[in-house]
């Protein structure tokens, strides 16, 4: 392994550790250690960038996206966007499979530890887990396995499974074992979003292998992100009619997301660039876990433009089946969860960066 590649992988491992410990009720780290590790990870990534060579066509939009990321991070006081940007441009000449293996190992370690400790207490000392149980209208009890929320646990499992399927090159054995594992965890966690996304992911793995579905999958790969922005605008419009019985039923089906969306827009309005909202959402008991709505009220609409541009940059590049499946499920997952937009939680942005910087131009047969 090259030294520069090693810098990158160590940086990813550190960022994974910081992020996963941040959603754990078992493994926690002091804030000073957190910031020291974060600084070390960024230094390693920057060293990798300094040693990398970039094509001229990449440098201009890297500079522009970098400025937007820096501005957004400082304006919102959320440095996720700077981190995402640095990690994405540092991936040049890095073997993405090695990065995904590192991501898989970290997630597997955390999930295994939490599963063992949680079910030990579940069997031998149930009173310990009672404060960590979650109630919902659809199922009496949901388990987060000592993570901060069942949906967070489900997201960790989903992206761990995707990591493994990616590394094993979409082998049937890996898919079968993954599906059994996911089903067993889902009995306790029960995340509707995760279940739907996983089913769609498996369906995509099938569709993308068959040429008769090419038109559909090409459309989804290239246009779904834009479609989801439009869908979200529609939900924002619908949320203005909360007195309508049909809208109320739809809102209940969506776990009151329409109501929360409407309240959030009333409070903060629309913003093209970043907008600092601090703890206002938490203080007002508003759950806004839809990334598109978050972009409107705090991250800025410009972030959606940046992601749409990144999708455009992937269009003419070579991609494998799992690359394409990830490009399709990413916009869907963002509709209900913020988890995938963090590069240390999900490999979505890593895959996009790898396609842009490391994959060759797609050669199309003229016939």
Task: Provide mean pLDDT across the span 14-32.
Answer: 95
pLDDT recorded at residue 138: 66
Answer for the pair 178, 164: CB distance below 8 angstroms, yes or no: yes
Give the pair of three-digit tokens for residue 26: 């078992």
Alpha-carbon gap, residue 145 to 175, rounded angstroms: 23
Asked if pLDDT for residue 367 goes beyond 50, the answer is no
DSSP structural state of residue 131: G
Alpha-carbon gap, residue 103 to 116, rounded angstroms: 20
Task: Provide mean pLDDT across the span 250-264.
Answer: 81
Question: 230-246 burial string, b = 16+ CB within 10 Å, else e?
Answer: eebeebbebbeeeeeee
Taking CA 286 as the corner, what is the angle to CA 280 and CA 290, rounded to the nearest 5 degrees?
105
pLDDT recorded at residue 151: 93
Contacts of 308 (CB under 8 A, 6+ apart): 225, 226, 229
Task: Provide mean pLDDT across the span 158-166.
Answer: 97
Task: Provide mean pLDDT across the span 279-290.
Answer: 78
Task: Provide mean pLDDT across the span 272-281.
Answer: 82
Question: 195-217 burial string, b = 16+ CB within 10 Å, else e?
Answer: bebbebbbebbebbeeeeeeeeb
pLDDT recorded at residue 365: 46
Which of 179-183, 201-205, 286-290, 315-319 is least confident? 286-290
**Chain segment 137-151, per-residue pLDDT in tens:** 667 799 999 999 999
pLDDT recorded at residue 220: 95
**Chain segment 75-107, per-residue pLDDT in tens:** 988 899 999 999 999 999 999 999 999 999 999
Percent of the chain with pLDDT over 90: 71
Predicted model pTM: 0.92
pLDDT confidence band for 362 (50 / 70 / 90): low
Asked if pLDDT for residue 250 goes beyond 70, the answer is yes
The Cα-based distances of 43 to 11, 79, 220, 254 in angstroms read: 8, 15, 37, 42
Tell me which H or E stretch contains 83: helix 80-89
**Chain segment 238-248, per-residue pLDDT in tens:** 888 877 888 88
What count of residues does the chain have?
367
**Chain segment 111-143, per-residue pLDDT in tens:** 999 999 999 999 999 999 999 999 876 677 999
Which of 58-62, 215-219, 223-227 is least confident? 58-62
pLDDT recorded at residue 240: 82
pLDDT recorded at residue 183: 96
pLDDT confidence band for 68 (50 / 70 / 90): very high
Alpha-carbon gap, residue 146 to 2, rounded angstroms: 37
Tell me which H or E stretch contains 139: none
Alpha-carbon gap, residue 294 to 110, rounded angstroms: 28
C-beta neighbour count of 366 within 10 angstroms:
4
**CA nearest to 330, candidates 235, 236, 220:** 220
pLDDT confidence band for 24 (50 / 70 / 90): very high
Asked if pLDDT for residue 366 goes beyond 60, the answer is no
Answer for the pair 301, 271: CB distance below 8 angstroms, yes or no: yes
The residue ranges of every structural domain in the chain are 3-217+302-358
pLDDT recorded at residue 252: 81
For residue 361, what are the β-bridge partners? 317
The Cα-based distances of 116 to 111, 121, 122, 162, 220 in angstroms read: 9, 9, 10, 22, 39
Region label for 342, one of left (φ > 0), alpha (ψ between -120 and 50) or beta (otherwise): beta
Alpha-carbon gap, residue 47 to 242, rounded angstroms: 52
pLDDT confidence band for 364 (50 / 70 / 90): low
Q: Round the average pLDDT of the chain to a whole number and report it.
A: 91
């Amino acid at each position: 392994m090259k030294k520069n590649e090693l810098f990158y992988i160590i940086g990813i491992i550190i960022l994974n550790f910081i992020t996963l410990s941040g959603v754990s009720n078992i493994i926690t780290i002091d804030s000073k250690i957190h910031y020291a590790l974060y600084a070390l990870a960024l230094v390693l990534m920057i060293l990798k960038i300094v040693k990398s060579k970039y094509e001229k066509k990449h440098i201009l939009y890297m500079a522009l996206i970098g400025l937007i990321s820096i501005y957004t991070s400082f304006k919102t006081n959320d440095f996720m966007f700077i981190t995402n940007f640095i990690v994405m441009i540092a991936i040049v000449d890095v073997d993405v499979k090695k990065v995904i293996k590192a991501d898989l190992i970290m997630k597997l370690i955390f999930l295994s530890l939490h599963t063992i400790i949680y079910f030990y207490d579940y069997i031998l000392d149930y009173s310990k887990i009672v404060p960590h149980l979650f109630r919902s209208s659809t199922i009496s009890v949901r388990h987060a396995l000592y993570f901060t929320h069942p949906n967070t646990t489900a997201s960790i499992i989903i992206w761990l499974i995707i990591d493994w399927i990616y590394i094993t090159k979409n082998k049937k054995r890996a898919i079968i074992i993954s599906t059994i594992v996911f089903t067993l965890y889902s009995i306790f966690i029960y995340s509707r979003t995760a279940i739907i996304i996983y089913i769609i992911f498996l369906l995509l793995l099938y569709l993308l292998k068959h040429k008769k579905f090419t038109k559909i999958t090409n459309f989804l790969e290239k246009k779904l992100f834009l479609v989801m922005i439009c869908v979200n605008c529609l939900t924002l419009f619908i949320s203005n009619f909360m007195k309508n019985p049909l809208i109320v039923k739809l809102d209940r089906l969506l776990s009151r997301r329409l109501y929360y969306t409407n309240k959030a827009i009333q409070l903060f309005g629309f913003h093209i660039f970043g907008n600092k909202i601090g703890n206002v959402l938490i203080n007002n008991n508003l759950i806004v876990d839809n990334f598109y709505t978050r972009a409107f009220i705090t991250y800025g609409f410009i972030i959606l433009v940046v992601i749409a541009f990144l999708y455009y940059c992937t269009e003419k590049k070579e991609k494998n089946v799992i690359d394409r499946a990830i490009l399709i499920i990413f916009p869907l997952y963002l509709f209900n969860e913020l988890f995938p937009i963090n590069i240390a939680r999900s490999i979505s942005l890593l895959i996009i960066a790898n396609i842009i910087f490391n994959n060759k131009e797609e050669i199309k047969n003229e016939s």
